[in-house]
Structure 1
Amino acid sequence: MKKITPILITLCALFLLNSCATDRDDEIRPLSELEIENFIYSGMQLYYLYKPQIPELANDFFDTQTELNGFLDGFESPESLFYDGLVADVDRFSFITDDYRELENSFAGISKTSGIDYGLALDPGDPNFAFAFVRYVLPNTSASESGVLRGMLFNSVNGERLTTTANANGTYSLSARSRELLALDSFTLETGTFDANDVFQPSGTRFDLVQEEYTENPVFIAKTLDIDGSKIGYLMYNAYRRNFDQELNAAFAQFQADGIEDLVLDLRYNGGGSVETAIDLTSMITGRFEGQIVTQQQWNPEIQAAFDAEEPESLIDRFDSTISNGNAINSLNLNRLYVIGTGSTASASELTIIGLDPYIDVQTIGTTTVGKFQASITLYDSDNFRKNDESLNLNHRYAIQPLVYTYSNKNGVVGPPSGIIPDFELSEDLSNLGTLGDPDEPLLSLALNQILGKGLVSSKKSHGTVFEVIGERENQKQDYQRMYIEELPDSFE
């Protein structure tokens, strides 16, 4: 990113209170929680998007370090300080981790999995229970080798029913015990179906599955469909992961070679990820607007003022011509795009839609998206909040992931917090999920109909019983529905 300005250096000098260390290794040495909490406070005071809403983060709120330490001591843990003392009520997405290695793995798509990506829904007969439905199966995993398929249902693990917890707002979430069951290193699932009375009936088919570390390629399906003489690209993209930019770019090279005329971008299960990758994707789709504005950032007032005064260009993300390794972007030069989205579509996925909208015709298919239009950054306990700094504190592995900016597109449009409403509405039907990438799969079929002019009116129906979805595999991960920038502005030196 761009070089930091003298004004921002001054801001940093005013705000930074965190401690230092000389180098890092794999040994964690004892320390007081106060040391961690000072780091958390310093990072939030400098960068937090909603700093004006937290009085204690004001630059003059504490007169001395002793007063600040007294405030920090009032919280029983770093987590309590973060969530109960420093995160604004409007903020659903900032979080803290006590082991940044797990967070880094999550950003890279590395996790333990049996290979099942599942959604969770309430049992229609009793909301105290839940069931899971298989959304897709990852290749070369225990689930794929065992024959698990999209659309299969299960409501127990090792014979123990999945249960729910009632929330204060009247919603339900999966119980802690059921989350433990789904996190076991090995387990047995028995599939089933709902009968005409919406009672789950076991099928007798069991799968013995093992969870192993796995690196998930987010470019799940990339294929060219030949429909009525029209070549239409279909890309199912499940996360914006910087370490898979080359695979994403290669998919667009194949679309180029195939001579596709339209593209269906399937983001139905994509909760977001890297802002930089999202900007690259918009450039792959268009290719005709290099250097023009995709998004305009809005940080907290102090950071924003520093950028506005000295480096306003740092606030702008523009269409580009290369991916992270310097390779040229393979662009399609499309003037329209069809995007499949659902209630699992968030952050960088929504940025793609909002950012492209002023330039090309973007049509959305499915259901309303999440409505998450802020970016975050990983802050480490070092003098400049970066991991690769020699001052990194080796006494712990805490990191924070606060929201640091929101954004608008070229026309100043900010995405609605209630989500992007589809142009052509259709919910996934658990009794007829279809095969992903098949032209007859309901959501893809609806998109193809719009491309081919076979059905230009909105379809607001689904078929069969409508189940209340309460979660998914992804919301067990630290980076669930998070959009993030890879690095802080360069640099504080």
Structure 2
Amino acid sequence: MNQGISMQFWIRVFTIMMTALGLASCGGGGGGDSSGGGGSNGGSSIITDATKNPTTCSNATQLSFVRNHIDKDYLFYKGAPSTSAAGYTGTPNNFFYDLTTRAQPAKDRFSFVITAAEAQAVFQSGIGTGVGLDTRRDAQGRLRIALIEPGSPASVAGLERGDRITSINGATVGASMTAAQSNALYYSSIGTSLSLEYQRLPSTATQVASMKASTFTSDPVPLATTIASNGSTVGYIAFHEHTAPSETKLADAFRTLSKAGVSDLVLDLRYNGGGYISIASQVAYMIAGTSTRTADMPAGYTKIFDRLEFNDKRSAENFNFGFLDYIYLDTARKNEILPSLNLKKVYILTTGSSCSASEAIINGLRGIDIEVITIGKTTCGKPFGMYQTDNCDNSYFALAFQGFNAKGFGDFTSGMTPTCSVSDDLDHELANPAEGLLATALTHRATGLCPAVVATGFATSAGTATLSIQDNVQKRSWGTSILNIR
């Protein structure tokens, strides 16, 4: 685990990680080789118009694909039911869930399937569908808006972080939302009208916001700024999703902070459910910089960021993923060298929604002895990753590997416990120095201690905690949930 990483690994990694490879077969073939090229070995095959291929994309053929995919690629294939494709009477989607999350909920809370069009929109284009808000319950059990996507219908309607939702389409919100309320708030199809009654606390006056679900472009890095604290300049970045559009926005944000001469960084991952591991490695590099290499390393080599280990059928494909120091995904700026802050310590804000690639940033930095001080709540606990594997009109995301840092640590299925425990503060906007998580980070930076925090508008749980994992995928198709590769 102590060897360096050469650039030859990047070619392999991104071939595996990127979306549809356009292979001809819809039935799960395509071969694949040790470089991660195709088919059952982690690549993607897609026929975009299934109606033109009724035989290749028949229900029976798709069921066969799912069975083969799970048997070959799924990290926990040994615990999957032995149900044959020929003996299954349901849909390919249900077959996939019956072989993964429904069969082994204690091991797998994360595998999911969406349409290939949805996967393309989310990961590559940053396009969301719906009204563009997320909610949490505060300490008093009130349903509060935690996040508003800029430019979304909710934003245009004037809703803000912290607003209390009291009624959804005329139905009063109680201790838990009904299925109808949840569907209306999160799953509305394009053009569907939604009416919300809300209070802008501390006022108890009720206002009404009317909107229609639509598509919109999400902003993966909505805030990057500096904060004056104790006579020095602290950088702050709110990073919500590891999608392709985040790559250059992150590079620009770190470059701005570097020019500003920040002495410390607060990276806000409280709503970041993951995404491309390549972007996680870039973020980690831009934090650590020179610490990702040793003086005797040849050019193009870095220390290990994340070692990916597959099931025993694919152990020959295990490999070390390094710290990526240049732009890869954006074609207009491809190969541009990334800036770095060269920090030895970083503050990261977390909640139970901080997942996967977000956790990989923390784990990867700790693997090379960067001090990571986490503020907030325990992370979601996903040391696993998956590939997008396309078949006909669907994109399947089955857990395929577990990630380990340079010290060999990757066992955090119960989540990462914060250095300072404090709940999300819904009474303040993000980047406000008075906001609970950020204020705690600044206090810890100044004193080395975790301050006591009095709960008022502090969140305790998500408003939709009872939803199944696949429901949450649909709910947060616009960005910051479990739609991740890592």
The one of 84, 88, 110 equivalent to 1:93 is 110
Tell me the equivalent position of 1:136. 147
Q: Does 1:44 align with 2:79?
A: no
The one of 170, 179, 183 equivalent to 1:180 is 183
- Provide the C-alpha distance between the structure 2 equivalents of 1:334 and 1:16, rounded to a whole number of angstroms: 40
- Provide the C-alpha distance between the structure 1 equivalents of 2:100 and 2:459, rounded to a whole number of angstroms: 39
SS at match of 1:187: strand
CA deviation digits over 1:102-134, x for unaligned, max 9? 12212243112434333357985xxxxxx5311
Amino acid at match of 1:447: A
Q: Does 1:342 align with 2:351?
A: yes
* 1:193 Cα deviation from its structure 2 partner: 7.5
User: What fraction of aligned residue pairs are identical, expressed as a percent?
Assistant: 27
- Alignment check: 8 A CA contact 1:425 1:459 kept: no
CA deviation digits over 1:280-323, x for unaligned, max 9? 1101111111410111111000111x23xxxx6xx111112212
C-alpha distance 266-37 of structure 1, shift in aligned 2 (>3 A): same
CA deviation digits over 1:185-224, x for unaligned, max 9? 32221113799xxxxx962311122332111121011001
C-alpha distance 227-474 of structure 1, shift in aligned 2 (>3 A): farther
What are structure 1's unaligned runs of at least 5 residues?
58-67, 125-130, 165-171, 196-200, 382-395, 486-493
Amino acid at match of 1:441: E
Q: Does 1:294 align with 2:305?
A: yes
Amino acid at match of 1:138: E
C-alpha distance 256-206 of structure 1, shift in aligned 2 (>3 A): same
Tell me the equivalent position of 1:252. 254
The one of 165, 173, 177 equivalent to 1:154 is 165
* 1:155 Cα deviation from its structure 2 partner: 2.8
TM-score by length of structure 2 reads 0.78
Amino acid at match of 2:361: T
SS at match of 2:433: coil
Tell me the equivalent position of 2:381. 371
Tell me the equivalent position of 1:483. 484
- Provide the C-alpha distance between the structure 2 equivalents of 1:420 and 1:236, rounded to a whole number of angstroms: 19
- Provide the C-alpha distance between the structure 2 equivalents of 1:23 and 1:188, rounded to a whole number of angstroms: 38
- Provide the C-alpha distance between the structure 2 equivalents of 1:21 and 1:273, rounded to a whole number of angstroms: 20
- Alignment check: 8 A CA contact 1:48 1:402 kept: yes
Tell me the equivalent position of 2:91. 77
- Provide the C-alpha distance between the structure 2 equivalents of 1:402 and 1:187, rounded to a whole number of angstroms: 33
- Provide the C-alpha distance between the structure 1 equivalents of 2:218 and 2:284, rounded to a whole number of angstroms: 22
C-alpha distance 417-321 of structure 1, shift in aligned 2 (>3 A): same
* 1:420 Cα deviation from its structure 2 partner: 0.6
- Alignment check: 8 A CA contact 2:137 2:459 kept: no
The one of 199, 209, 212 equivalent to 2:211 is 209
- Provide the C-alpha distance between the structure 1 equivalents of 2:350 and 2:193, rounded to a whole number of angstroms: 32
Tell me the equivalent position of 2:240. 238
- Provide the C-alpha distance between the structure 1 equivalents of 2:370 and 2:40, rounded to a whole number of angstroms: 43
* 1:477 Cα deviation from its structure 2 partner: 3.1
Amino acid at match of 2:113: I
TM-score by length of structure 1 reads 0.77
Tell me the equivalent position of 2:417. 421
The one of 425, 435, 445 equivalent to 1:441 is 435
Tell me the equivalent position of 1:319. 323
- Alignment check: 8 A CA contact 1:114 1:143 kept: yes
- Alignment check: 8 A CA contact 1:95 1:402 kept: yes
* 1:141 Cα deviation from its structure 2 partner: 3.6
Tell me the equivalent position of 2:464. 471
- Provide the C-alpha distance between the structure 2 equivalents of 1:21 and 1:350, rounded to a whole number of angstroms: 29
C-alpha distance 136-54 of structure 1, shift in aligned 2 (>3 A): closer
Amino acid at match of 2:198: T
* 1:43 Cα deviation from its structure 2 partner: 1.5
SS at match of 1:235: strand
438-447 or 101-110: which moved more? 101-110
SS at match of 2:222: strand
Taking the TM superposition and a 5 Å limit, the aligned residue runs for 1:9-88 are: 9=33, 25=49, 27-31=51-55, 32-54=58-80, 56=82, 71-85=85-99, 88=103
Q: Does 1:102 align with 2:95?
A: no
Tell me the equivalent position of 1:462. 455
Tell me the equivalent position of 1:265. 267
- Provide the C-alpha distance between the structure 2 equivalents of 1:193 and 1:285, rounded to a whole number of angstroms: 37
- Alignment check: 8 A CA contact 2:220 2:245 kept: no
- Provide the C-alpha distance between the structure 1 equivalents of 2:373 and 2:46, rounded to a whole number of angstroms: 52
CA deviation digits over 1:3-52, x for unaligned, max 9? 99xx9749999x969xx999755855545311111111122222111122
C-alpha distance 43-468 of structure 1, shift in aligned 2 (>3 A): closer
* 1:85 Cα deviation from its structure 2 partner: 3.6
SS at match of 1:264: strand
- Alignment check: 8 A CA contact 1:218 1:240 kept: yes
- Alignment check: 8 A CA contact 2:136 2:145 kept: yes
Amino acid at match of 2:354: T
What are structure 2's unaligned runs of at least 5 residues?
1-10, 16-30, 294-301, 329-333, 466-470
C-alpha distance 320-399 of structure 1, shift in aligned 2 (>3 A): closer
240-249 or 176-185: which moved more? 176-185
Structure number with bigger Rg: 1
* 1:425 Cα deviation from its structure 2 partner: 0.9
Over the residues paired in the alignment, what is the CA RMSD in angstroms? 3.3
CA deviation digits over 1:341-360, x for unaligned, max 9? 01111111111001101321
The one of 282, 285, 288 equivalent to 2:284 is 282
The one of 340, 348, 353 equivalent to 2:362 is 353
Amino acid at match of 1:483: N
